[in-house]
Structure 1
């Protein structure tokens, strides 16, 4: 399952940069997402047809993260995800608050290459 379009549909309206894997920009607030796990959950005729895809959504800010943390969780639920866990850390080396929301979604397998 390709989660990139889903992540951008959910989070682009928030007005902060949203990127997969690594953020190299300069904005204080930003969201980075990554695949945590992807595995078949439904089989038909000995072929996997549906995957369960687990993602981690990382929100970084130097401000109070509480409002955005709740917003991210709400948007994930509205997008069909189930929340697994939410963690929050303060990173001393960068002075960032770091929120990690882990969630999963089930959808049809689409392993076609996109060009």
Structure 2
């Protein structure tokens, strides 16, 4: 299971529509997610033994709607799924609050 698969599962478990890269649905709240960086780690015999991925999870909700509870749920779910504890940046757009979770995950390298 990839890091992005894990994010999609988290969104489903929380009942939030989600898509990778660009959201094209019509929900009031949604999640978009993407890789920001991928690299190998723990080299042996000149080959990486693990893959490290940095991801961004973008949560959008209408301005004026309380997002504190969901923000904590998303952060905790990412951490519980094996990601590093996410850094959060909050941006206010014209009609939406844009909450960005940034975190890393290390996984065994698949052939």
* Residue of structure 1 equivalent to 2:93: 91
1:2 aligns with 2:8: no
Report the Cα offset of residue 5 of structure 1: 2.0
Q: Which runs of 5+ in 2 are unaligned?
A: none
* Residue of structure 2 equivalent to 1:21: 21
When normalised by structure 2's length, the TM-score is 0.90
1:16-54 deviations in whole A, cap 9, x for unaligned? Answer: 111111001111100111001111111121111201111
Which ranges of 4 or more aligned residues in structure 1 deviate by more than 4 Å?
none
Q: Which runs of 5+ in 1 are unaligned?
A: none
* Residue of structure 2 equivalent to 1:74: 76
- Number of equivalenced pairs: 109
Distance 1:84 1:76, change over 3 A: closer
